[in-house]
Chain A
């Protein structure tokens, strides 16, 4: 890396793990999309993708320079075709539904679910979001969009207890 290059933490459509990419610091958002595809493996035609900052709702303007929209070294971004992701969370035979930006972290979704089901303190930390029909519990840093593929911009979670390991 040199003075003209910055590192960004990328997630996006088809990118389930955080990926570190390197881009010129004077790049535009449009050029960042090209880099996201080449280095990050984002799976979609470039012209259909948008770039979002982590936990933000509005896509960045394509022609803007990264520095002009506040993106600098080691910031966290997301590239996806879905503009919103519908979620449903099941807990104790109840279901709550919401819609979030694909750049929303599981950390934020979990806090939302805790509020919805009024889980606090130990009850909150001893439950995790698990993708329905699987045993996958995405890490707190994972973006919602990494778990869905356009045009299916929706996902279901169960709020499950973290079991103590014994036996």
Chain B
């Protein structure tokens, strides 16, 4: 087990992650290092998913920020674009399947999206990855988006 995986597994046992599990905010699906799939609860919308899974790439965790990709848990494959979370306001910006081929979320806490976006460090300081923190930094941001009134359900619905 690499040091990064050891730290990640330790973080999953700690209060912040377990508190979210206990509240039903997220649940661990799998770990196949250096990836982990975590499902995150979504606000209830008629005939829409109750949660979305994301595959996190976690190499060099937590020193380097994770990146997250919407994931089809049953097929163990990238989520098709019509099944990405959709809505208005902040939602289509963060969950944009056209950004980097749908390989990551358009968020300042994302490893790949922060590249070339240095102004984000001052524009969105509350969403910048902190290497002293844990995976719940990223999970909370996704959970908040999926509980916005601007979230309407599947992108393709």
Contacting pair A9 B15 (CB below 8 A)? yes
* A105 shortest CB reach to chain B, Å: 10
Residues 72-129 of B at the A interface (beta carbon under 8 Å): 89-90, 93-94, 106-108, 117, 119-120, 123-127
Give Cα A16 to B107, complex, Å.
Answer: 24
Residues 134-157 of B at the A interface (beta carbon under 8 Å): 136, 140, 144, 147-150
Give Cα A166 to B120, complex, Å.
Answer: 9
* A126 shortest CB reach to chain B, Å: 7
Tell me how many residues of B have a C-beta within 8 Å of chain A. 31
Contacting pair A121 B106 (CB below 8 A)? no
B16 is an interface residue with CB less than 8 A from chain A: yes
Q: What 0/1 readout, one digit per residue, does chain A (136-153) give for beta carbons within 8 Å of chain B?
A: 110101000000000000
* A20 shortest CB reach to chain B, Å: 4
Contacting pair A18 B90 (CB below 8 A)? no
* A158 shortest CB reach to chain B, Å: 12
Residues of A with C-beta under 8 A to B106: 165
Contacting pair A122 B90 (CB below 8 A)? no
Q: Which residue of A lies closest to B110 (CB)?
A: A165
Query: Contacts A125-B149, A135-B126, A136-B126: A164 and B90 contacting too (C-beta < 8 A)?
Result: yes
Residues of A with C-beta under 8 A to B126: 130, 135-137
Query: Contacts A125-B148, A163-B124: A20 and B18 contacting too (C-beta < 8 A)?
Result: yes
Number of chain A interface residues as a range = 20 to 34
**Pair count A-B, CB < 8 A:** 69
B23 is an interface residue with CB less than 8 A from chain A: yes
Residues of A with C-beta under 8 A to B90: 126, 162-165
B6 is an interface residue with CB less than 8 A from chain A: no
B44 is an interface residue with CB less than 8 A from chain A: no
A167 is an interface residue with CB less than 8 A from chain B: yes
Contact of A165 (CB < 8 Å), options: B20, B108, B136? B108
Contacting pair B15 A167 (CB below 8 A)? no
Q: Which residue of A lies closest to B127 (CB)?
A: A165
Residues of A with C-beta under 8 A to B127: 165
Give Cα A20 to B14, complex, Å.
Answer: 6
A17 is an interface residue with CB less than 8 A from chain B: yes
7 contacts between A and B (CB under 8 A): A9-B18, A10-B15, A19-B14, A125-B150, A126-B149, A164-B90, A165-B124
Kindly list 19 other residue pairs between chains A and B, CB separation below 8 angstroms, not including A20-B15, A167-B117.
Answer: A9-B15, A17-B16, A18-B15, A18-B16, A18-B18, A121-B149, A122-B148, A122-B149, A122-B150, A125-B149, A135-B125, A137-B126, A139-B140, A141-B23, A164-B89, A165-B93, A165-B94, A165-B108, A166-B93
Contacts from B to A (Cβ < 8 Å): 13-16, 18-20, 22-23, 89-90, 93-94, 106-108, 117, 119-120, 123-127, 136, 140, 144, 147-150
Contacts from A to B (Cβ < 8 Å): 9-10, 17-20, 74, 76, 121-122, 124-126, 130, 135-137, 139, 141, 162-167
